[in-house]
Amino acid sequence: MYKLKKIGDINQSLIDGKIALIGTVIGIEKEENYDKLEIEDSSGKILVSKNKSIEIASSSRVLVFGTVKITPKGLIIFSEAVVDVSESSPKLLGKFMEKIENYDI
């Protein structure tokens, strides 16, 4: 089950937990096997690993489903899905966020 979280609420108590978050891509680090996205929302910033086959541009608004892990550099989200929601209406996105909060997915 994924829990919708603000980035500022992600801490070590959530390690290995499944979370969903919505934020804006503010940076992209290219690596050999995967990329890291730096995501921010109004509460903070976090790194999200993603499969190289997923094309996401900087400044895109994204919905991330993933697992919280800890690395020597700090907390990171290992993504299972990263969806660009930049073109979604705020009203539709709000309804979707309600569904995530109210149901086991």
What angle is formed at CA 105 by the lines to CA 86 and CA 79, rounded to 5 degrees?
55
pLDDT of residue 105: 47
SS (H, E, C) 21-82: EEEEEEEEEECCCEEEEEEEECCEEEEEEEECCCCCCCCCEEEEEEEEEEECCEEEEEEEEE
What is the per-residue pLDDT across 52-85, written as a single tens digit (0 to 9) for each? 777 888 899 999 999 999 999 899 999 999 999 9
Looking at CATH, the fold of the domain delimited by 3-102 is given as: OB fold (Dihydrolipoamide Acetyltransferase, E2P) (2.40.50)
How do the domains of the chain map onto residue ranges?
3-102
| Residue 12 predicted with pLDDT over 70 | yes
DSSP three-state, residue 27: strand
Mean pLDDT of the chain: 88
